[in-house]
Every structure is written in C-alpha cells, then in structure tokens.
Structure 1
C-alpha cells in the first residue's frame, strides 16, 4: 500500500496556514500533507474595509459578511472533492481541528470509502446532540473559555460570528489568551491572532452535524485529546469520545493525549506530527 496523504482542515476563523508547522514537520518525517482553505477562508476570505486600520468599529459591527449563507454542506462538499482527488493516488488521513470536526464528520458520512483514517484534534464530533451550539450548553461545554471571547455585532445582521482580532483591548487579549493559548506567551498569541480572519459562518455551529454511525463506523477514527484545552474543555472532549464509542462499539476511537492548550500544539508541532505519523502506519 502506498503511503497516505494527510488532509488537514482548520477550525473557526482559521485557514490552511495554521497547519504550516505541522505540514513542515510531517514532510521532514517523510509524509505527504496538504492543508486546505475552506470556502470563504484563506485567499478567499472577506475582510470588511471597516476592519482595516484605522478601524471603523461602528461600521464593522453591522457590515454584512461575505460568509453569510456559507453552509456546512458547502464545506463538506469542498473537502469531499479534495479527498476524492487525493484518494485517486493513495490512502487519505483526514484531520479536523476544533470546528473543522463538523466538516470532516460530514465527509466521513458522505464518502467513508475514501477516508482511510479520520482524526479529530480536540475537534467537535457531534453524536447525541445535533450541533456545536448544543454541546456548549452541556455541563461539560458550559465552562468553555471561548464563550468569554467578545464578539462584534449581531450575527442575524452580519450573517457571521465576527471577532475583532486586531483589538488591543487588554480584556479581549486576556480572554483570547486564556481560551486559545494559555500555555503560550502573549507574543505567541499575537502572532496567532494576526493570522485569524474576522468572520466565521454562524451556520457551521448551528447545523445538524451528527455522525452517521453506519458510515462513520466504517472508518478508522482517532481523537487527540488536549489536556489543557479551555476552548473545548477536556470533559467535553471525553464526552464526545464516549458518545461516539457507544454509537460504534465495534470501532471505538483510538485515543491519544497531548499536554496542550487549544492551539499550543501548533507551537510544538513535533508531538502532534509524531502522533499523526504513528496513525499513518496503522492505517
């Protein structure tokens, strides 16, 4: 069997670039990897003029988003096409980070025969509850620090969940630091948020994204737990793992654990890359 290709899917407000340290490390380990920009992300992202400097915060709060109307079906369809083309050349290990979990779940539901291994890196795997929003309402999800990161404007008006990553407000930076990179420095946090885009589709968090046990159960799947993650708390990660294992008891999650915050593993890519390389060897 030929060596697999890793297909890496980013989370909310992200793009393919967030995976660059991991792509580099995997390449140095002799593996092929490609990170994708979901529709409306990366070079296709929309940056409202009011977001530029000097910022017009009043306009930024109401300006319609170019991501308004972007659906889970759109992101699943896009990644499915990528997976289909890559699968023509060998096995695919499909990896989702954070909110990217709902997209990779959708791909596995749609084309399980094309995914050799499915990996969630502290990512949403909806099983008993339909949406990401529902999981944040649970006792395990309620303490999430991401809920304290301020948003801008009304999603019903802008069509997106909007964040001002260019804010210098100490309260905002403190909330973002705690939520995403509590094990990193303030300088590292600023470097990460500088690459974030302001808008994320609200529909991705409010659309039914549950696994189809008949399809999901056909795919080998692994979960990388992040013990210091305050955005998707460890208890919530474990809840989703347990629910999935109950739904597909003959094919439970292969579980790996890293000592990391929600994004801290990207600053130390050797550990996550070693886990992924191990999975590539097991199929």
Structure 2
C-alpha cells in the first residue's frame, strides 16, 4: 500500500501550513494498515513520551483524509495520548473492500470497530463531517469515553445539504436527482472540488489551493453515491452515553455555527459548547487554534 511518508502531498501540506499559520510539524507519524470490515485501512499513529493516557481517534470529514489532521494530532500526542488518524473508505490511501460502493454508513462502522479494539479511555475527535460521524460511532461503541467535534452537521436535512454543497443549485439538483433517479445519480463521479466548497476550508489562499489541487483531496474523483448515502443516512437516536464537546470555529464560512447548534441542541448527553474567537472550517488560525487545543487539553484531562 502507498504511504504518505516523503510524498509530494505531505511535503506540500507541511510547507503550506508553516507558511500560512506558522505551524511547524516536526513529528513523522507511524503509518500502519489495519483490516477493518474487509477494508485495508491506512492509519497514522502519533505516540506520546511514556505510557499513553488513552487513545484519541481523529476522524476526518468529506473533504479530507487522516493526514490533514496532523496539526491537531501532533499536539494531542504531546498531551500524553496515543493518537490514530485513519483514512476512511473511499478517501486517502485506504484500499476499500471489494464491492464497496461508497456507502457513508461504513465510515461509522469502521470508526466504531476501531474504537472498540483500542485500549481506553478512547476519545473520538471529528472535524467537519467527521464530527457527526464520531457522534454516531460513539453510539455503536461502549468503549468510547468522549466525543469532540468541530462541527455537527445533519446532512439528511435538505437545507443543510444544499448549504454544504459548493453551489446551491448543485445541492438542489442533487436532491432532486437522488430522489427521482437514484440509480442514475449513483453512476456519476466528479472531482471533489466540484462537489464541495473546499476553498472554504481556510481564508488563506495557499491552503485553499492545496485542498483544491491535491490529488488525494480536491483533485480526487468521488462517486455521487457517497453523497446520496450521506444525505439519506437518518439519525434515529439523539442520546450519547459519553460526554460531548462541540468546539465550533467562530469564522467558519462553510458551516456557520447555527447549523451545528441545531444538532447539538437535540443531543441528550453531558455536553458543552464553545465557539472559538475566529477560525475557518479547518481552525488553524490564531487565536482559534490555541483555544481549540486548550479545550482539547481540558476535556482529555478530565477523562484521563
């Protein structure tokens, strides 16, 4: 299986976030492959100094892969936690199971199974669409001790689905097509940068260009079926057996805070909401990034 180590994608990402945000990634994560539900899942691993206080699973969203979470994973490992960041099926360098057709539900099952196999306490940290994926996976795994989300988006809501599309007309056309002729809709593939507004990941043009052109991100082709199954995945339970922390970027041009709060308010759990002072969808700006890491440290400290 291919690796990120020494790849152009990884070298470019480190250079971009160093230039844009002054974030210097100095640790090269271990790369492992785990067979989960017949998928050959590529996973990044950051190890702390000494005995880990627990396991933190970082869950990427529909515009990324595990490696783009490195700016959050490396400092989390410095807090004493073993951090794992998988590429979910259909994204990054994971090799999907034979016959996998792009069903979003597999993301939830993969995270839940991975969480169930790790030494505790296990905490899930989801960015973007990964926030809700982490919440749903926690419902499946009693081994999860806590959930952290930067956003909580219910994309089964037509309004939210349309808002999350790159163009409103594309979102509305997609809803119509997947409802009237799903068998035709599922056959379409398109570059990810056409389906989602990846430029909204950050206000920095260098970061925008990276997400738009990288072959494992915006330049990768995705099946329309994935987005249909995202929309048609209904939340049937709103309870969570573990604590939940929503840390929403205050200047998120892709998903405003109100969309996350619509979900957060419905969840029955020991929960807390914090809105960062600023921060784009990928909140690496200051002071948002420092605030996020401070909240992360506090939440993990309580669970450890």
Question: Same fold by TM-score, threshold 0.5 exceeded?
Answer: yes
Q: Distance in 2 between matches of 1:207 and 1:266?
A: 34
Q: Which residue of 1 aligns with 2:275?
A: 257
Q: Which residue of 1 aligns with 2:82?
A: 32
Q: Which residue of 2 aligns with 1:180?
A: 201
Deviates more, 1:196-205 or 1:75-84: 196-205
Which deviations, in whole Å up to 9, do the C-alpha atoms of 1:76-126 show, x marking residues without a partner? 22111210111xx22011112222234223212212x211001111132x4
TM-score (normalizing by structure 1) = 0.70
Q: What is the aligned counterpart of 1:108 among 116, 135, 138?
A: 138
Q: Distance in 1 between matches of 2:167 and 2:60?
A: 19
1:31/1:114 CA distance change after superposition, 3 Å: same
Correspondences of 1:1-283 after superposition (within 5 Å): 3-44=53-94, 69-86=101-118, 89-111=119-141, 113-124=142-153, 126=154, 132-134=155-157, 136-137=158-159, 146-148=166-168, 156=182, 157=184, 159=186, 162-164=189-191, 176-177=198-199, 179-181=200-202, 183-184=203-204, 186-193=205-212, 194=214, 195-196=216-217, 197-199=220-222, 201-210=226-235, 212-214=237-239, 216=240, 218-244=241-267, 248=268, 251-258=269-276, 259-265=278-284, 269-283=289-303
Q: Distance in 1 between matches of 2:228 and 2:285?
A: 26
Unaligned runs of 5+ in 1: 47-65, 127-131
Aligned-pair CA distance for 1:209: 3.7
1:191/1:2 CA distance change after superposition, 3 Å: closer
Q: Distance in 2 between matches of 1:41 and 1:176?
A: 15
Aligned-pair CA distance for 1:252: 4.3
Q: Distance in 1 between matches of 2:187 and 2:58?
A: 23
TM-score (normalizing by structure 2) = 0.65
Aligned-pair CA distance for 1:205: 2.0
Q: Distance in 2 between matches of 1:9 and 1:161?
A: 26
Is the contact between residue 222 and residue 255 of structure 1 (CA under 8 Å) also seen in structure 2?
yes
- Higher relative contact order, chain-length normalized (CA < 8 Å, sep 6+): 1
1:279/1:180 CA distance change after superposition, 3 Å: same
Which deviations, in whole Å up to 9, do the C-alpha atoms of 1:49-91 show, x marking residues without a partner? xxxxxxxxxxxxxxxxx997322332222111210111xx220
Q: Secondary structure at the match of 1:34?
A: strand
Is the contact between residue 161 and residue 202 of structure 1 (CA under 8 Å) also seen in structure 2?
no
Is the contact between residue 249 and residue 283 of structure 2 (CA under 8 Å) also seen in structure 1?
no
Q: Which residue of 1 aligns with 2:32?
A: none
Q: Distance in 2 between matches of 1:92 and 1:180?
A: 27
Q: Which residue of 1 aligns with 2:30?
A: none
Unaligned runs of 5+ in 2: 1-50
Task: Give the alignment's Cα RMSD to 1 decimal.
Answer: 3.5
Aligned-pair CA distance for 1:270: 4.3
Q: Distance in 2 between matches of 1:160 and 1:34?
A: 33
Aligned-pair CA distance for 1:6: 0.9
